[in-house]
Amino acid sequence: MARKILLEHIDVPGINTYDVYRSKGGYASVEKALKTMNPQDVVEEVKKSGLRGRGGAGFPTGMKWSFLAKPEGVPSYLVCNADESEPGTFKDRYLMEYLPHLLVEGMITSSYALGANTSYIYIRGEYFYLVRILEKAIAEAYANGWLGKNILGTNYSLDLYVHPGAGAYICGEETALLESLEGKRGNPRIKPPFPAIAGLYGCPTVVNNVETIAAVVPIINMTGDEYAKIGIGRSAGTKLISASGHIKKPGVYEIEMGITVEDFIYSDEYCGGILNDKKLKAVVAGGSSVPILPADLILTTANGEKRLMSYESLADGGFATGTMLGSGGFIVMDESTSIVQNLHTFARFYHHESCGQCSPCREGTGWMEKIIHKILDGHGTMEDIDLLWDIQRKIEGNTICPLGDAAAWPVASAIRHFRNEFEEFVKNPSAQREVKYYFHCNNIDTAAAYSSL
Amino acid sequence: MSELKEVRFSAESEALIQNLIKRYPEGKQKSALIPALHIAQAEYDGWLSVPVMDKIAEILNIKPIEVYEVASFYSMFNLNPVGKCLIEVCRTSSCWLRGANDVVAHIEKRLGIKDGETTPDGKFTLKTVECLGSCGTAPMLQIGEHFHENLTLENVDELINKYKTETTHSKYLDGTTFRKH
């Protein structure tokens, strides 16, 4: 049976309201932290828990917190990254919609640990309806004395604000997010200095993902040592997985890290198997940026071991035969999917979202989209496939921020594992053209719909 | 679209922007730029004209270029007039896998416009967008602040019929959203 920690009370009616959330033990972590722990103790608990950043990079949260500079007389900030935009990822949206107080509670406990007296939740502009939900939760927290001056009668004060973005994937990168929060274009900054030294308004700042901040709540409640026992090895705790694509039960699932990928895809507790009982073809396991893997490699590592839902197991084999857990955006494709067409949606995405600062990314993403489009249109050559490989290789590692890598990896992995499909498009463009306009969709009867027009 | 001679925000919008400025440290009022542009766009028919952007620059005490460069960077800001109902259809991987292209093709046929165009009566604009975080409920589209998910072509027809008579973007940011300080 799945162990739920973040989503323990998700089915309780009214859990999005303060009274119900409080009656289920909500805000206990704030009480415990402010009344019985000093800020450094909270940081130590998070270190012991082994919690790693849930936004995609998987960097140890406690370590990130301990890097925060504390110069005299300079404010420090905690900024929550709620700019969830990685294709295939919708877990933060789910968390904020149904458990807004969990994020607010996590923000208070974490801000206390970091000595921040002003904190922001930077949320993507399209999630506008969530701004209302979060503002309401924050107002309730103020009304009940969890925010504002001298919280619980202590010396600690905190103001918490929601700040909407306006549609830019790049603002999920932490330094671009800070630029955006300062009212500028979302151009990533050159690091160092890291935000822990010079972040928001040049002050020491920690930027953490929504799920990461939410996980601080159970860590403080149960202790870091207990949290570290959940999961497997260095993949401590639970992870929210956003499951989408050709599966019977798309949705957000909280998993204990260490379950098998096979179990996640096929068991009724999670995805429930492939839609219409077709065969599994490929999976993008951690959001659009991570390498796509064919069915055999996602279910079993190159060494013949069952692949697990954990940071280490998904990365087993490096990029040659493995992938990454990333943000946990798990996109499943059945046997009828054209890998090249799917890749075109990713290439178009990265081209659209490149901020334009670095030439390899700005120009390279455009080239990749155009070449893939040319191949899909039936005008591709074998040399184009090699050119595509060459371009992605020249983007990777040559940009200020990881968007360049994120744009390169899907292209590289699609060619690495499915080169034959690119070649098919080149060799037999007319046969492929029929595929191009075939979009399999479970709930749309295309022919019937068009005939009624 | 008639030319805007003088830009004067409603008292409500003006108060809302002043309220938002208080969320940031003294002298960092530029941080309120993106939320302020959302408010401006909601009040001025869903797009940002140069006079509207200049007015925002004046309120925030920053240079107009600082507003233009931000407005042109973020995809939610429209620098040209849009229809009364802006339909934004997601077409990235998960939505594509579940039929987003059929949804786009259907809307194009129904409205007689292509992606990026506005109907001659000024009612609808169709825009394809990148991942909106609705992958588990694909295919989807957004109108105003509302997500319409698990779409079928029948749903799409219902939405078009409904929004023939409704304006959507004026509700985008209103006084009930942000807590007062």
Residue B3: which pLDDT band, with cuts at 50, 70 and 90? low
Asked if residues B134 and B127 have their Cβ atoms less than 8 Å apart, the reply is no
One CATH from 1.10.10.1800, 2.102.10.10, 3.30.200.20, 3.40.30.10 for B85-165: 3.40.30.10
Residues from chain B that touch A337, judged by Cβ atoms under 8 A, are: 97
CATH classification code of B11-71: 1.10.10
B-chain residues near A329 (CB < 8 A): 135
pLDDT tier, A263 (very low <50, low <70, confident <90, very high otherwise)? very high
Mean pLDDT lowest among A158-167, A233-242, A252-261, A444-453: A444-453
CATH 3.10.20.600 at A232-334, yes or no: yes
**Termini Cα distance of chain B:** 36
Q: Domain extents for chain B?
A: 11-71, 85-165
Name the CATH superfamily housing domain A18-229.
NADH-ubiquinone oxidoreductase 51kDa subunit (3.40.50.11540)
**Beta bridge mates, B86:** B125
Q: What is the pTM of this model?
A: 0.94
Q: Which amino acid would we find at residue A139?
A: A
Task: State whether B93 and A288 contact (CB < 8 Å).
Answer: yes
**Cβ-nearest to B177 among A135, A169, A244:** A135
pLDDT tens by residue, A312-360: 999 999 999 999 999 999 999 999 999 999 999 999 999 999 999 999 9
Of residues B146 and A292, the one with the higher pLDDT is A292
Query: Percent of chain A at pLDDT above 70?
Result: 94
Domain coordinates of chain A in residue numbers?
A: 18-229, 232-334, 339-436
Domain A339-436 class in CATH: mainly alpha
- The answer to whether B133 contacts A127, with C-beta atoms less than 8 Å apart, is yes
Residues of chain B positioned with their CB less than 8 A from the CB of A453: 109-110
Mean pLDDT on B142-162? 94
Contact B98 A442 (CB under 8 A): yes
Residue A449 pLDDT greater than 70, yes or no: no
The pLDDT of residue A7: 97
User: Which of A182, A288, A441 is closest, CB to CB, to B30?
Assistant: A182
pLDDT in tens, B30-85: 999 999 999 999 999 899 999 999 999 999 999 999 999 999 999 999 999 999 99
CB count in 10 Å sphere of residue A109: 27
Write the pLDDT tens digit of every residue in A366-392: 999 999 999 998 899 999 999 999 999
CA–CA dist B12, A448 (Å, integer) = 48
- Residues with Cβ within 8 Å of residue A21, at least 6 apart in sequence: A9, A15, A27, A99, A101, A102
| Closest alpha carbon within chain B to A148 | B181
- A207: which strand partners? A79
The answer for residues whose C-beta is within 8 angstroms of residue B6's C-beta and 6 or more apart is B51
Give the model confidence (pLDDT) of A178-187 as tens digits.
Answer: 999 999 999 9
Contacting B residues, span 125-144, partner chain A, CB-CB under 8 Å: 129-139, 142
Flag if A93 and B25 touch (Cβ within 8 Å). Answer: no
Residues 60-89 of A with CB under 8 A from B: 75, 84-89
Q: What pLDDT is stored for residue A68 in this prediction?
A: 96
State the pLDDT at residue A2.
Answer: 66
Amino acid identity for residue A402 in this structure: P
Instruction: Look at residue A435 and tell me whether its pLDDT is greater than 70.
Output: no
User: Is the per-residue pLDDT at B2 higher than 60?
Assistant: no
CA–CA gap between residue A76 and residue A69 (Å, rounded): 8
Nearest CB to A353 within list B130, B138, B142: B130
pLDDT at site B180? 73
Rounded to an integer, the average pLDDT of B112-135 is 95
B-chain residues within 8 Å CB-CB of A128? Answer: 145, 172-173
CB-based contact, B12 to chain A, within 8 Å: no
Decide if pLDDT at A30 tops 50: yes
> By three-state DSSP, how is residue A208 classified?
strand
What residues of B are in contact with residue A346 (Cβ under 8 Å)?
A: 92-93
Any idea how long chain B is?
Answer: 181
